[in-house]
Amino acid sequence: MIDSLYPDIPEHLAGAVLRIDLDAVATNYRTLCHRLGDVACGAVVKADAYGLGAERVGPVLARAGCQDFFVAHINEGVRLRRALATARIHVLSGLYSGAEDTFCEHNLLPVLGSLGEIALWKNYCSTAPLPCDLHVDTGMLRLGLPTDEFRKIVDNPDLLAGLNLQLVLSHLASADETASQQNPRQLAAFKQARAVIPAGQASFSNSSGIFLGPDYHFDIARPGIALYGVNPTPGKPNPMRATVTLNARIVQLRDGHAGDSVGYSGTHRLDKATRIATVAVGYADGVLRSLSNRSCGHIGEYRVPLIGRVSMDLITFDVSDVPDCLLYPGQWIEMIGPRHTVDDMANDAGTIGYEILTSLGRRYHRVYKESEDV
């Protein structure tokens, strides 16, 4: 899908280059496996593997040993199935009437989340029970069996009879806040659910949940964001490896004078003579407009502040501190990299790394790094 959206042009003609390090994704997977010990590690690859490309990320994780993949929507599952012939693919948003054949045809597991969905699947599978999962809401009030419906199952376990239940799962609302009392409350509720639901395996932890400790691990974890290098332990050093870098080209350089203003609505006014570099990315590429006047890039070791509003296709930097020999049209400015991480950019924008990654533009020239031997 990504590859066909824009024709491939040579890297030296690209306005911006997004490098995606698939080796780092595999390393992150192994890091999480190591932390989990004997517990299995699945992978959440919804939203096109958080913007990195599910068709590229999926096979790399499968080779690293991953057997369980989670997507949000059925179309993501159908697409992933083409890249992964044998893995279990779980569709988190569940089942609705009319979708049964598609689940069956592509060998996808619906994550059932209500008595209505359970009835639909049982009815569809009346001759041969096809595998499925059950999501139990433990306090997020978003997806999964609501408490009153869970009680009905406790009172009448026959409601689940005839289901081929692979996983019982639930999702943590505050896993990234280690001190939140919501974590132990959800844990206690999930233990109750697990005792009642006759599923093969229990799955509870997302990325941050893995770092809450072994009590939270159960049989199989479901990390997403940590695989892609965003810090699952906010406030502590990032145990994961970065997976993306973004470099964008200077298209023009100009000199502004004291009193001039930069960009739409003149939100940045110059208080002295300033060298300005205009760079070929904008909010249409996922450089969020909320980064206006609040972010930075780097040219080599030189930090360059983003000044003025982010436009659709362009942004402007104050490059006054950069030596002239480094300033010319075609020069690269590092937007995401070791000096300014996805987490840093998220901080600048007042958002989370998830939103930065899933917003990454489709116009970027993408270069995937994948070693033969990994």
SS3 34: helix
Rule CB under 6 A: which of 21-50 touch ligand PLP?
44, 46
340 binds ligand PLP (CB under 6 A): no
Contact stretch for ligand PLP (CB under 6 A) within 221-229, 265-273, 305-313, 342-350: 221-229
Q: For ligand PLP, which residue of 77, 223, 282, 361 counts as binding (CB under 6 A)?
A: 223
85 in Cβ contact with 122 (< 8 Å): no
Reported as type and span, the H/E element at residue 195 is: helix 182-196
Query: What are the Cα distances from residue 282, in Å, to 121, 189, 334?
Result: 45, 45, 14
Quote the least distance from Cβ 65 to ligand PLP, whole Å: 18
Q: What is d(CA 18, CA 363) in angstroms, rounded to the nearest whole number?
A: 10
Q: Which is nearer to ligand PLP, 171 or 194 (CB)?
A: 171
Contact stretch for ligand PLP (CB under 6 A) within 219-227, 254-262, 284-292, 299-307: 219-227
264 is catalytic: yes
H helices, E strands: number in the chain? 12, 19
Rule CB under 6 A: which of 56-75 touch ligand PLP?
none
224 binds ligand PLP (CB under 6 A): yes
94 binds ligand PLP (CB under 6 A): no
206 binds ligand PLP (CB under 6 A): yes
191 is catalytic: no
| Angle (CA) 74 351 185, round 5° | 70
Quote the least distance from Cβ 44 to ligand PLP, whole Å: 4
Task: Tell how strand 164-169 and strand 296-299 pair up.
Answer: unpaired
225 binds ligand PLP (CB under 6 A): yes
Catalytic residue selected from 29, 46, 228, 283: 46
Catalytic residue selected from 6, 96, 236, 264: 264
| Torsions phi, psi for 236 (to 5 deg) | -115, 165
Rule CB under 6 A: which of 145-174 touch ligand PLP?
171
92 binds ligand PLP (CB under 6 A): yes
Query: What are the Cα distances from residue 257, in Å, to 260, 261, 272?
Result: 6, 9, 6
Quote the least distance from Cβ 202 to ligand PLP, whole Å: 13
End-to-end CA distance of the chain: 25
For 259-263, the CB contacts below 8 A with 24+ separation are 261/308, 262/307, 262/308, 262/316, 263/292, 263/307, 263/308, 263/309, 263/311, 263/316
Q: Kindly list the catalytic residues.
A: 46, 264
The residue ranges that bind ligand PLP (CB under 6 A) are 44, 46, 92, 171, 206-207, 222-226
